[in-house]
Chain A
Amino acid sequence: MAPIELIAPATEAEVLSAVGSAAPGTVAILAGGTDLLGDLEHGRLRVQRLISLRRLPWRSHAWEAGGLKLGATEPLRQLETDPDLLARLPALHQAITAVGSPALRRQASVGGNLGRAAPASDLTPALLVLDAVVELVGPSGVRTMPVDRFLKASRTTELGATELVRSVRIPELRPASAYLWRRVRPANDISQIGVAVAWSPRRNAWRVSLGGVPPRATLAEDCARALGSATPSAAEIEQAAAVLSGSPALVSDRRATEEYRRRLASALCARAVSAALGRPPEGVP
């Protein structure tokens, strides 16, 4: 097989031109590469050219307009070491630190995680409850859409063939939020389940999501409704946990059985809400 050529354009216009002029299926976009490299090595992806985003000015994040803007190629480690992240968006901080080891997180990026639509992503459940919006750039301009619409299924997104994820915006700080997960080994494994919760002051409502379930993380609106107000009672938390454990998204696969996932969903939901509220764990079965 001929070697793959790697190019690293210095501007957005050059990247879009390189992507736009390529024959379909002949190029792949390289952000951190932590997910892409396996597909290349095992022949699941065969391309002639890799287009690296490393030179683009997308390697940044900023607190702006009451929320957070994340450049697509900002390494996860840069985000987690922001001194304000844990207080302002605890669910995002907990989701980021759930991804692999620090060495891996120096390479992995939010844009790569979304663009590759990794099925068991730990970031997706947090981005869902934070109402994150993806910004896409392509030859015909820029468009934005919620993460919930952007991700269609495992490895499938709304991204057009000549489009790139440029940034992700979290519209509101949600200090009352949390992401909890369960897996066999913390730094070397994929989550069997993840539960993210967040209270949105603007919506005056809770957001709850389930991750680690096929085909992708999903919002659990009935569970969020069961939580009710900003300060749910122990009984409301218990009821919401019961609702989540009945979610049809909880199924058996090679990582966990349906029964195990239902028990974990209930326990993690109760603990995540308590954590988001800064209370000691309650309502834990």
Chain B
Amino acid sequence: MSVPLPALTVNGRRLSLEGVPGEERLLDTLRWRLGLRGTKEGCRSGECGACTVLVDGEARLSCLALSQDLEGRSITTIEEVGSEPIGRAVQAAFAEEGALQCGYCTPGFVLALTGLLHERGPSASTEELLRDLGGNLCRCTGYVAIRRAVARARERLA
């Protein structure tokens, strides 16, 4: 009988964890091992939200998670979040509201909001959603359009 090798799933594909160092962060695995550069590195210390991904549907910071410690979990990044209904609605809301300037923070906002809508459902108020997005920073300070996108995403899903 063979023992299954440690692995996690990224955007529906199996990723073997064989040979991945214990200290390697999910952020680095995604960007440098898998070439999924849509996940952005910002502060690398949990303060900016740019690296947000979904782990089993919940928003998590890929800079503060070790890949080996996510064995068996399922990761969704910005490259695939549009293949599920909530992620697709959030992406559309950001596009329709033009809620980006340089765009560096956008994947993190999209994933964080998708995770919150998974968790809270569309009954969460726009104010609550905005409060819970407090850990995502836009250094262009383009927050007005982001606020509109959050409200629009909620309306789309209501």
Complex CA–CA separation, A106 to B59 (angstroms): 8
Q: Check if A37 sits within 8 Å of B25, measured CB to CB.
A: yes
Q: Check if A102 sits within 8 Å of B132, measured CB to CB.
A: yes
Choose, from B29-37, B65-73, B89-97, B145-153, the stretch at the interface.
B65-73
Cross-chain contact of A101 among B44, B65, B134 (Cβ < 8 A): B134
Cross-chain contact of A54 among B45, B52, B69 (Cβ < 8 A): B69
Q: Check if B137 sits within 8 Å of A188, measured CB to CB.
A: yes
* A103 touching B23 in the complex, CB below 8 Å, given contacts A6-B66, A6-B69, A38-B45: no
Task: Look across to chain A and name the residue whose beta carbon is closest to the beta carbon of B133.
Answer: A101
A102 cross-chain contacts in B, Cβ below 8 A: 59, 112, 115-116, 119, 132, 135
Q: Check if A103 sits within 8 Å of B115, measured CB to CB.
A: yes
- The yes or no answer to A256 lying at the interface (CB within 8 A) is no
Q: How many residues of A contact B (CB 8 A)?
A: 28
Complex CA–CA separation, A273 to B52 (angstroms): 37
The residues in B between 50 and 91 inclusive whose CB is less than 8 angstroms from any CB of A are 52, 55, 58-61, 63-66, 68-69, 71
Q: Check if B64 sits within 8 Å of A107, measured CB to CB.
A: yes
Q: Check if B137 sits within 8 Å of A4, measured CB to CB.
A: no
Complex CA–CA separation, A143 to B69 (angstroms): 29
A3 cross-chain contacts in B, Cβ below 8 A: 21-23
Q: Check if A50 sits within 8 Å of B22, measured CB to CB.
A: yes
The residues in A between 50 and 103 inclusive whose CB is less than 8 angstroms from any CB of B are 50, 52, 54, 100-103
Q: Which residues of A contact B (CB under 8 A)?
A: 3-6, 8, 30, 32-34, 37-38, 40-41, 49-50, 52, 54, 100-104, 106-107, 186-189
Beyond A102-B115, A103-B49, 14 extra complex contacts between A and B, CB < 8 Å: A4-B21, A8-B69, A34-B64, A41-B44, A49-B22, A52-B66, A54-B69, A101-B133, A103-B52, A103-B60, A103-B135, A106-B55, A186-B134, A189-B47
